[in-house]
Structure 1
């Protein structure tokens, strides 16, 4: 399309200055009109309008997971035998032999250790001699009692003399009984020179060596019975209630994929003065030979209250006058959906959601006050403390 501008006429002698001023006023307006015409037209076609869609907003999300309201508590301890027996000699003497070492298995009747029996043998011989003397004395007094009874019946002896002989016989009978008991004790003491095991188990410690003189009752070895095994742990005072009421299970460091059922058997009524913790023993139900004494055990206390809640950051919950809500990202459309939720409680840094979210929901955790339902978003991971701080201030996470 051609644009024609008015051609200025030649000025006359008297109107030259006026014509020049008019041309200066009309030329800029004409130039602007020409520029607008060229911009809006192109050989008779109108220029199309330039439009663009709003970009998806980046948001930080977390996956909702339903877990028990009271989390599981774990405590590390060791596997111990419920019963550990200290074996000791019932008589004193010099140890001449020890037959077992730490880790040896023993059964009832096995020889554990032996002391020097010479002194005990001498005591036994003395008891036998005393028995022989008491037996002879009884025979003598019995004979005298019989004679004096005969003489008294004939009138040749007095009744007082008969009474003395009868009492001497009774004393001899008592002396004989005492000698018999002394002989039995001497025989028993000699048998005590051999320390025998009276239980089945494993030797866990030794306290005496051959050549050592020990007293009666001094521990020689300690045997742990293997019929019942326990996990010994130290509990803080905040976990005492959970230990009494929660369901217990034990996992072993050597086999972390296996959980053994357990129950609380013993809880110390007094805290340890040094650690200020309470010793607790959990009996392992059905522990087999693979559970060795001394293994590292983790006691897991699971609350019996099975109510499941989702733990979300406090910044994920908002309330615009219609109750608490959270924003969930729809996976198919990548848009926001405001879901009403029911709060079960709060912790220092989390909100406990009882109802309103499902397992695996992508919940927006930052900047929820600046978002709107139906808004198109894209999820991005947080980039450390800097991104979190920026998101907290600006209401969004920078990609």
Structure 2
């Protein structure tokens, strides 16, 4: 009877054991992972080669030193430093008393030579007439022809002397040969000047340039780069600049090379003597995005970064590396301007996991 009772309760025991085992195998539904806080940086592409800046001074491209072409005493100076002058404008004048006397003397020589020539030619005509009638000899004719030629030569010399005297008188007034601005005056009334001594310096106002001192290490960049200029008085406006001249030798004191940049579009605000900044950028510099080394993540398929989309879910994206630096990595492809890249916490992210941006860095 006990055996029968035991067999009768066996199905109940098996059912209870199955229920117990089923309960042990069941697990509660896993809780959703919380948003992981990450630090991101906005992508900004920039030229790989950094721009170089130099302090420049605005100077005239053409600066002429003008002096008197005759010696004399300065009677008056008609311009001052900073005055704008036009071609042909009088700048200074010498005392022309002696020069006028020289002209009058030359005029008198011309009159005397003219009278002598007229007399010689009349005598030659008379001898030619007598010679035709047989009343004059060949020797007399030859002698008179020589006298006439001498009179003609004297007349030519007198005319040239008069022309030189008139030119010398005109040189007593110093005139501008270019449109420009007076930058220096070396004479005052009463000074006695020699021929060719610098009296007035004029800068051509239509052509302006920027002059900089270039260190030896920057010569190649200045020669091949693209230049622009901004005045210190108006830094918001930029002018295109073109390298016109680079000195072949260094300054013995500063060990720098003088470079001159022409400014084709220089307008009225660009004045001589102003200070400016010349910026040199590489002509064909490749653009790179600079990110911290901590932003890189490699799962065996090459370098990649986590890019956070609008849905706050990171996507692992492969990138092309241009160079590794001590703290940063330069990326050429794989990301776009304005995208957010995880720079801290990239090693603990999973695909599709939502993230929470705690701070966005802008560089």
Tell whether the structures are fold-level matches, with TM greater than 0.5: yes
Partner of 1:172: 151
CA contact (8 A) 1:336 1:377 kept: no
Mapped to 2, the partners of 1:350 and 1:189 lie a distance apart of 75
1:64 to 33, 43, 47: 43
Aligned partner of 1:340 in structure 2 is: 318
Q: What residue in structure 1 maps to residue 226 of structure 2?
A: 247
Q: Aligned equivalents of 2:249 and 2:302: distance in 1? A: 47
Alignment RMSD: 3.3
* Structure 1: stretches of 5+ with no match in the other structure: 1-53, 383-399
Q: Which residue of 2 aligns with 1:324?
A: 303
Question: Out of 160, 164, 179, which is 1:200 matched to?
Answer: 179
CA contact (8 A) 2:60 2:272 kept: yes
Q: Give the Cα separation in 2 of the matches to 1:348 and 1:152.
A: 113
Q: Could you tell me which runs of 5 or more consecutive residues in structure 2 were left unpaired when the two chains were aligned.
A: 1-32
Asked if residue 308 in structure 1 is aligned to residue 287 in structure 2, the reply is: yes
1:356 shift after superposition: 2.9
Pairs within 5 Å for 1:21-40:
none
Separation of aligned partners in 2, 1:174 and 1:134: 9
Shift of 1:83: 1.9
State the SS of the aligned residue for 2:66.
Answer: strand
1:144 aligns with 2:120: no
In 2, Cα distance between the equivalents of 1:217 and 1:225? 20
Q: Tell me which residue corresponds to 2:254.
A: 275
TM-score calculated relative to the size of structure 1: 0.71
Higher-Rg structure is 1
Given candidates 346, 352, 359, the residue that maps to 2:330 is 352
- Compute the displacement of 1:117 (Å): 0.8
**How many residues end up aligned between the 2 structures?**
327
Q: Is the 8 A contact 2:73 2:192 kept in 1?
A: yes
1:221-236 mapped onto 2 (5 Å cutoff): 221-236=200-215
Would you say the 8 A contact 1:231–1:284 is kept in 2? Answer: yes
Q: In 2 relative to 1, CA 149–260 (structure 1 residues): closer, same or farther, beyond 3 Å?
A: same
* CA deviations over 1:279-320 (Å, ceiling 9, x no partner): 322222322212212221222233332632112345654656
Instruction: Kindly indicate whether the alpha-carbon contact (under 8 Å) linking 1:338 and 1:373 is maintained by their aligned counterparts in 2.
Output: no
- Mapped partners of 1:129, 1:255: distance in 2: 64
Question: Match for residue 193 of structure 2?
Answer: 214
Q: Identify which range, 183-192 or 69-78, moves more after superposition.
A: 69-78
Q: Please say if residues 42 and 360 of structure 2, whose CA atoms lie closer than 8 Å, have aligned partners that are also in contact.
A: no
Once the 2 structures are TM-superposed, how far is the Cα of residue 353 of structure 1 from its aligned partner?
0.8
Offset at 1:341? 2.0
Q: 1:130 to 1:87 in 2, by over 3 A?
A: same
Counterpart CA distance in 2 for 1:329 and 1:152 is 122
Report the Cα offset of residue 67 of structure 1: 0.7
**1:120 partnered with 2:124:** no
